[in-house]
Chain A
Amino acid sequence: MASIPPEFKVSIDSARCRKCGICVNNCSFGALEFGDDRVIPDDSKCVACYRCVSKCPDNAITITNYQWANRGNANWTPETTSNIQKQAEFGGILLSGMGNPRPHKIIWDHLLIDACQVTNPSIDPLREPMELRTYLGKKPDNLEFVENKEGEIELATELQPQVKLDVPVVFAAMSYGAVSLNAHKALAMAAKKSGTLMNTGEGGLHEDLYQYSDNIMVQVASGRFGVHNEYLNTCSMIEIKIGQGAKPGIGGHLPGEKVGEEISKTRMIPSGTDVLSPAPHHDIYSIEDLSQLIYALKEATNYEKPVGVKISAVHNVAAIASGVVRAGADVLTIDGYRGGSGASPMVIRDNVGIPIELALATVDQRLRDEGIRNRASILCAGSIRSSADIAKAVALGADAVVIGTAALIAMGCSVCQRCYTGNCAWGIATQKPELVKRLDPETAAQKLTNLLSGWSFELKEILGSLGVNSIESLRGNRERLRGYELDEKTLELLGIKSAGVGQ
């Protein structure tokens, strides 16, 4: 590795350091060692996870970017050159963790929300009821009523199964395997406390989590890991995973190192074996085939649970979404190109897919134009970072949003982007028992609950300022959004006016 320059520099202030060795024990990447009666850092191994910084009792550690002399070359950046050097050294595909980190324009940050002034009053959410409740599932085309014998009016339309969310935010699919059991537990507990869902991802469901079935969405992906009757019935809804924003069109590999006894049992794969998720489902080569799997799942669960389909935001996403909804999906999840991943080839993560904002707006519009928007709820995923992003997503047409990276950050993740190494210093993206135990499920669940409660308060403030008292009134209400510093075409696709334009 000698020829590959380090990314970070670890500096230890010897005047402050009491030589307790806590940092050495905490560094799971092997970047710190004791020798010569002092802590000796190996910069080349540091990933800037900040574990040591946060644990040092003397505030003696500083992590900085490794300072390269600025050779003024904006094309051959240190990142580009070191990637080439890594591949020249080892061959193979560059792997990465988390979502696309490139400095592309973030459309959310160029959307501005309206507010009431004078002519219509805003609402104070602290005094008046404010509704965030959302139901996921197929809604009827129309409602029919009949009068019963007692002369009361009753609903005659048969309603399809719905999942109730108290907050319009669900946790993203993160498999047991990619993340630890403690992380899964924290997500399940928090989903229960907050009245929402966690998503198992494609690695099955550990038996310890069966008790949270009302707050679990189970995923069925191409590898069909841990998919059996009990799994399909221990949930409030099912999601067929077709694509993921961080790696549209490709499958996934969980390296054998991460497959210990418990993962082996849950996924039904021998310990130490690579777990391969093929790129396509081999029973789905068409919309008709997708429909067949949707109804197979409904048949296996007595038509009692919504069945969703997750696709990544690609060029033709609107037409694909239309097909997915027509195939019978009750919920459609769209994952944008900034969506996270435990492991994704960098070339795919950074170059494939489109921004979620454009995908969401065009899908919502397409389904409306075709008169089938009611047939499926839309979940919007792919880097939702704040309550403002949620409000904007809902205004662009989402029923609710999905958070993965934000949830991990709430649990302690420092976005070091090394999830694929299995060495996560925060006990999240790892299966090593000594690291997993660093994550206390109760504490992490409380943090997740706090985050959702904070965002709920903020959402209510936003709704109040808009003069509406339910999230339903904002849904698809693009008139309440304006675009700033966006080009004409983008505004047109988003279906919004430019800031400065009135009604």
Chain B
Amino acid sequence: MVKRIDCKNLYYRHLNKIIQDEAESGETEFILDNLNGQRYLGTGINKAVNITVNGTPGSDCAVFMNGPTLTINGNAQDMIANTMNMGKITVHGNVGDVVGYGMRGGKLFIKGDVGYRAGIHMKEYKSQIPVIISGGTARDFLGEYMAGGIFILLGIGSDSEIITGDYLGTGMHGGVIYIRGDVENDTLGKEVKKLDIDEEDRRILRQYLTEYSQDFGFDVDEIMSKSFIKLLPLSSRPYENLYVY
């Protein structure tokens, strides 16, 4: 059975409660129509349910999310995947600012662009590695304070050669950012270095981009045919010499 909900004029708290209760009693498939700005979608459900959204979820979509798969046929607002732990989100559109803040695990695949401060303070521990892929462009402070995880930015269909903003990877001390094409050196944060990708990077990229391409109907070979660079932190201890004891 699929639980189909018309979200028009439904307050977020009520909507989330319906989903949480239904998921608790065993429902695994949800379709949400006319969703328009309701917050915290997918939060408080600690199960691997599938939620398809026709509309635009509000801010903090999937905050603390732990298990569900969200397919969003539309855009998403700010702070999607905030401190998300497990699950997957595909957004068939663009997303706002501060996406994946402190994300700890799971996947966030975005067909279009991300706003400011994407991937801020993502983390990882051993095999639990969060992955964000954006098919479009990013604004300033991409990967700020990043402590782990993988961010891939593709710039598919972008008119401009430059698909990133300023202060790239400022404060970055873990994880990796892959960018299709190149970045201008003067936009790099002072805590990161730019490197060419190697065979292992290509393997990782192909692995995630194959899944990404299937989700959005892209051709993975075509995506991979363009060159990539990667950004790594210069040090895992960027502020080691900041203090006097």
Assess whether A224 is in contact with B66, with CB atoms less than 8 Å apart: no
In the complex, which residues of chain B have a beta carbon less than 8 angstroms from the beta carbon of A300? 40, 43-44, 63-64
Q: Cα distance A346–B177 when bound, in Å?
A: 35
Q: A92-B242, A274-B173, A302-B44 are in contact. Are A228 and B125 (CB under 8 A)?
A: no
- Within 8 Å CB of A278, what residues of B? 121, 145, 171
Select one of A265, A282, A296 contacting B125, CB under 8 A.
Answer: A265
Contacts of B243 in A (CB 8 A): 92-95, 345, 420
A420 to chain B, nearest CB (A): 7
Q: Nearest A residue to B238 by beta-carbon distance?
A: A274
> With A223-B121, A282-B117 in contact, is A229–B66 under 8 Å at CB?
yes
Tell me the nearest residue of chain A to B67, going by C-beta: A229
A420: which B residues are within 8 A, CB to CB? Answer: 243, 245
| A320 at the B interface (CB under 8 A) | no
B169 within 8 A of A: no
Chain A residues with CB under 8 A of B43: 296, 299-300
List CB contacts (< 8 Å) of A164-213 with chain B: none
B60 sits at the interface (CB 8 A): yes
Whether A232 sits at the interface, judged by CB under 8 Å, is yes
Q: A269 on the interface (CB 8 Å rule)?
A: yes
Within 8 Å of chain B (Cβ to Cβ): is A139? Answer: no
Cβ contact within 8 Å between A223 and B104 = no
Is the CB of A112 closer than 8 A to any CB of chain B? Answer: no
A185 to B117, CA, bound (A): 37
Partner of A269, one of B63, B101, B147: B147
* A267-294 interface (Cβ within 8 A of B): 268-270, 272-274, 276, 278, 282-283, 292-293
In the complex, what residue of chain B is closest to A276 when comparing beta carbons? B145
* CB proximity of B21 to chain A, nearest CB, Å: 11
Measured between beta carbons, the chain A residues less than 8 angstroms from B44 are 299-302
**B183 → chain A, closest Cβ, in Å?**
22
B237 and A256 within 8 A (CB): yes
- A270 to B20 alpha-carbon distance, docked (Å): 34
Residue B59 contacts which of A253, A255, A292, A421 (CB distance < 8 angstroms)? A292
**Contact (A228, B242) CB under 8 Å given A269-B123, A283-B98, A299-B16:** no
| Closest beta carbon of chain B to A280's beta carbon, Å | 11
Cβ of A35 under 8 Å from chain B: no
B3 beta carbon closer than 8 Å to chain A: no
Whether B244 pairs with A93 at a CB distance below 8 angstroms is yes
Task: Write out, one digit per residue, whether chain A residues 205-248 have a CB within 8 A of any chain B CB (1) or not (0).
Answer: 00000000000000000111101110010000000000000000
- State A295–B63 Cα separation when bound (angstroms): 11
Please tell me the number of chain A residues within 8 Å of chain B, measured between CB atoms: 44
Residues of B within 8 Å of A421, CB to CB, are 245
Query: Least Cβ distance of B41 to chain A in Å?
Result: 10
Within 8 A of B (CB), among A67-113: 86-87, 89-95
A229 near B85 with CB under 8 A, answer yes
Task: Report whether B64 and A296 are in contact in the complex, using a CB–CB cutoff of 8 Å.
Answer: yes
In this complex, how many residues of chain B approach chain A with their Cβ under 8 Å: the count is 46
Secondary structure of the B contact surface, majority rule: loop
When the two chains form their complex, are residues B244 and A95 in contact, meaning their CB atoms are under 8 A apart?
A: yes
Candidates B117, B236, B239; contact of A253 at CB < 8 Å = B239
Known: A93-B244, A268-B125, A302-B44. A296 touches B239 (CB 8 A): no
| CB neighbours of B98 from chain A (8 A) | 282-283
Q: Does B241 contact A (CB under 8 A)?
A: yes
A93 near B125: Cβ-Cβ < 8 Å: no
A contact residues around B40 at 8 Å (CB)? 295-296, 299-300
Q: Please, which residues of chain A bring their CB within 8 A of the CB of B237?
A: 255-256, 272-274
Q: Tell me which residues across on chain B come within 8 A of A268, comparing CB atoms.
A: 104, 123-125, 128, 148
Q: What secondary structure prevails in chain A residues at the interface with B? A: mixed
User: Are B240 and A273 in contact, with the CB atoms below 8 A?
Assistant: no
Nearest-Cβ distance from residue B216 to partner chain A, whole angstroms: 27
Q: Does A264 contact B (CB under 8 A)?
A: yes
Assess whether A255 is in contact with B244, with CB atoms less than 8 Å apart.
no
User: When the two chains form their complex, are residues B174 and A273 in contact, meaning their CB atoms are under 8 A apart?
Assistant: yes
User: Is B189 among interface residues, defined by CB-CB distance under 8 A?
Assistant: no
How far, in whole Å, are A296 and B80 apart by their CA atoms in the complex? 12
Tell me the smallest distance from the CB of B48 to a CB of chain A, in Å: 13
Alpha-carbon separation in the docked complex, A28 to B148 (Å): 33
A321 CB, min distance to chain B CBs, angstroms? 24
Task: Find out whether the CB atom of B147 lies under 8 angstroms from the CB atom of A273.
Answer: yes
Q: In the complex where A273-B237, A283-B98 touch, is A95 in contact with B245 (Cβ < 8 A)?
A: yes
Q: Contacts A224-B83, A224-B101, A276-B239 hold; do A270 and B148 have CB atoms under 8 A apart?
A: yes
Whole-angstrom CA separation of A232 from B239 in the bound complex = 30
Tell me which of A87, A227, A299, A301 contacts B83 (CB under 8 A). Answer: A227
Min distance, Cβ A89 to any Cβ of chain B, angstroms:
8
How far, in whole Å, are A265 and B174 apart by their CA atoms in the complex?
A: 15
Cα-based distance from A227 to B105 in the complex (angstroms): 12
Given A282-B98, A296-B82: A229 in contact with B64 (beta carbons within 8 A): yes
Q: Is the CB of A295 within 8 A of B39?
A: yes
Quick one: given A95-B245, A227-B64, A296-B60, are A276 and B147 in contact (CB under 8 Å)?
A: yes
- A440–B101 alpha-carbon span in the complex (Å): 38
Chain B: minimal CB distance from A1 (Å): 10
Q: Mark A5-21, 1 if CB is under 8 A from B, else 0.
A: 00000000000000000
Contacting pair A270 B241 (CB below 8 A): no
Q: Is B135 in the interface zone, CB < 8 Å from A?
A: no
Known: A295-B39, A299-B13. Is A87-B244 also a contact (CB below 8 A)? yes
Determine if B123 and A232 form an interchain contact, defined as CB atoms under 8 angstroms apart.
no
Q: How far is the CA of A301 from the CA of B244 in the complex (A)?
A: 42
B104 A228 Cβ-Cβ under 8 A? yes
A272 touches B236 (CB 8 A): yes
- Residues of the A chain whose Cβ atoms lie less than 8 Å from the Cβ of B64: 227-229, 232, 296-297, 300
Q: How far is the CA of A272 from the CA of B46 in the complex (A)?
A: 32
12 contacts between A and B (CB under 8 A): A93-B244, A228-B83, A255-B240, A256-B237, A264-B125, A269-B148, A269-B174, A272-B236, A274-B239, A283-B78, A292-B79, A296-B63
Can you list the 8 inter-chain pairs with the closest CB atoms, starting with the nearest?
A224-B102, A273-B236, A268-B125, A300-B64, A229-B66, A299-B40, A95-B243, A92-B244
List 8 additional contacts besides A268-B104, A273-B237, A295-B39; criterion CB under 8 Å.
Answer: A268-B148, A269-B147, A269-B148, A274-B173, A274-B236, A274-B237, A283-B82, A300-B44
